[in-house]
Amino acid sequence: MSRKLPMLAPQDPIDDLEGVEKRFGMPRRQFLSFCVGVAASIGLSSGAAGAVAKALVAAKRPSVIWLHFQECTGCTESLLRAEHPTLEKLILDIISLDYHETLMAAAGHQAEEARKAAMAANKGKYILVVEGAIPTGANGAFCKIGGKTAIELVKECAADAAAVIAIGSCASWGGMPSTSPNPTGASPVAEILGKPVLTIPGCPPNPYNFLTTVVHYLVLGQLPELDAKGRPKFAYGRLIHENCERRAHFDAGRFAIQFGDDGHRQGWCLYKLGCKGPETYANCPSILFGDVGSGSWPVGCGHPCIGCTEQGVGFTKPIHSLAKLLTVTPPTQFARPAEEQGQGSTLATVATVAAVGGLAIGAGARLAKNIGNHPDAVDEPTAADKPKA
């Protein structure tokens, strides 16, 4: 089932957003800015933001059953430990989190009953989110919950789910627990269920990609468009290398050779330190992590990308081995060395560029994320932005 959204012009009055301040814990204007970003992220024009807002307010909160298996709980932590409470508030307000072992007060039999009750009450309608790989070794004996193996549990919960989301690299493709020699037989959810599922890889994944996926489902009544690995194209449609702020250095042949050398200190390209950005699909350089302004992603902090989202790269290839260069096409946007990033572009211009230029994976997601930024978090120019003497 998919819904068509009526288009509203940005100036159209939206008079039925009563209570939005209280419900989402943010001013109406901020909520609408968030909807502009989400609209761009899911490939709609900024004119659809009003319709997204209305749909979000009116949507019935879907029941979510969230399972944990072989993992570190980093997926959940990254979702709930944003510096600004907006992200957590938004997520917990638009879904009904009916079973989550880390967050629920219930334990033991009570928790099991809560899971079964939520599944029965929302049969065929709930979203199953799986965090962690599924150990298949020793007939699944490495992970048992309530007397059932992870294999049994995930199959039981998926049977009546409307959609299954594998969150994090562990659930998506095995991730860290599946690292060779994989003694527990850690396996991805799709393999256990024998059918494709939506995957949001990353270790941890960016919580805004989960949020945008859920909003897409709520607003349009269907999951976003996926690539061959089940990843939403809005988030994993482009290589990190295409949007990296150090890309101009790569193209100019300016590389850090050792940690702490001149090139490293000046923010040059980390390719020769093993950066896997050229073979890793994710929107990390556009959407960033945390709420602290520019630079808050692995490469921005001076560490090569290890390809944590990418099967066959993260936790598989040696961290400092050279990446395979999948494309050497120009980036979608070159960082201008003297430009102060984050200055001079308004929400509307970024959204328009995102919608018109098809850059939803970058600008749209970033825009959606801006809602959670602390007002004092200003994008400062990085070393890479500064003109060379």
Q: Where do contacts with ligand F3S occur on this chain (CB under 6 A)?
A: 202, 240, 280, 282, 284, 297-299, 305-309
Q: With CB cut-offs between 5 and 8 Å by kind, which of ligand SF4, ligand F3S, ligand FSX, none does residue 278 bind? A: ligand SF4
Which among ligand SF4, ligand F3S, ligand FSX, none contacts residue 297 (Cβ within 5 to 8 A by kind)?
A: ligand F3S
Using the rule CB under 6 A, is 176 a contact of ligand FSX? yes
Using CB under 6 A, pick the residue from 49, 99, 128, 131 that binds ligand FSX: 131
Stretch that binds ligand FSX, among 111-119, 164-172, 299-307, 351-359 (CB under 6 A): 164-172
Token pair recorded at residue 92: 């917990």
* Beta carbon nearer to ligand FSX, 131 or 385: 131
Sign of the torsion formed by the C-alpha atoms of 106, 110, 113 and 117: negative
* Helix 28-41 with 49-58: angle, nearest 10 deg: 110
The span from the CA of 298 to the CA of 316, in Å, is 18
Query: Do 310 and 279 meet the contact criterion of CB atoms below 8 Å apart?
Result: yes
Residue 83 to residues 86, 135, 167, 291, 345: CA-CA distances in angstroms? Answer: 9, 33, 21, 6, 24
User: Cβ 338 to ligand FSX, closest distance in Å?
Assistant: 37
End-to-end CA distance of the chain: 58
Sort 270 into a burial class: Cβ within 10 Å, 0-12 / 13-18 / 19+: buried
Min CB(308)–ligand F3S separation in Å = 3
Q: Applying CB under 6 A, which of residues 50, 278, 300, 307 lies at the interface with ligand SF4?
A: 278
**Residue 138: which region, alpha, beta or left (left: phi > 0; alpha: psi -120 to 50)?**
left
Taking the complex as a whole, the smallest distance from the CB of residue 273 to ligand SF4 amounts, in Å, to: 8
Q: Considering the rule CB under 6 A, would residue 297 count as an interface residue with ligand SF4?
A: no
Say which DSSP state 321 is in. S
Instruction: Choose the contact partner of 244 out of ligand FSX, ligand SF4, ligand F3S, none; CB within 5 to 8 A by kind.
Output: ligand SF4
Of residues 53 and 193, the one with the C-beta less far from ligand FSX: 193
In the complex, minimum distance from the CB of residue 115 to ligand FSX, in angstroms, rounded to a whole number: 19
CB burial of 246-257 (b: ≥16 within 10 Å; e: otherwise) equals: bbbbbeeebbbe
Q: Which CB sits closer to ligand FSX, 102 or 222?
A: 102
Name which of ligand SF4, ligand F3S, ligand FSX, none residue 176 binds, using a CB cut-off of 5 to 8 Å depending on partner kind: ligand FSX
| Binding to ligand SF4 in span 223-262, by CB under 6 A | 240-241, 244, 246-247, 250
Shortest Å distance, C-beta 308 to ligand SF4: 13
Task: Name the token pair of 69.
Answer: 């298996």
Residue 161's nearest CA partner among 202, 200, 189, 186 is 189
Q: What are the Cα distances from residue 372, in Å, to 32, 87, 200, 362?
A: 13, 6, 20, 16
* Least spacing, CB of residue 285 vs ligand F3S, in Å: 7
Instruction: Tokens for 312, please give them.
Output: 């066959």
Q: Which residues bind ligand FSX (CB under 6 A)?
A: 71-75, 131-132, 168-171, 175-176, 203-204
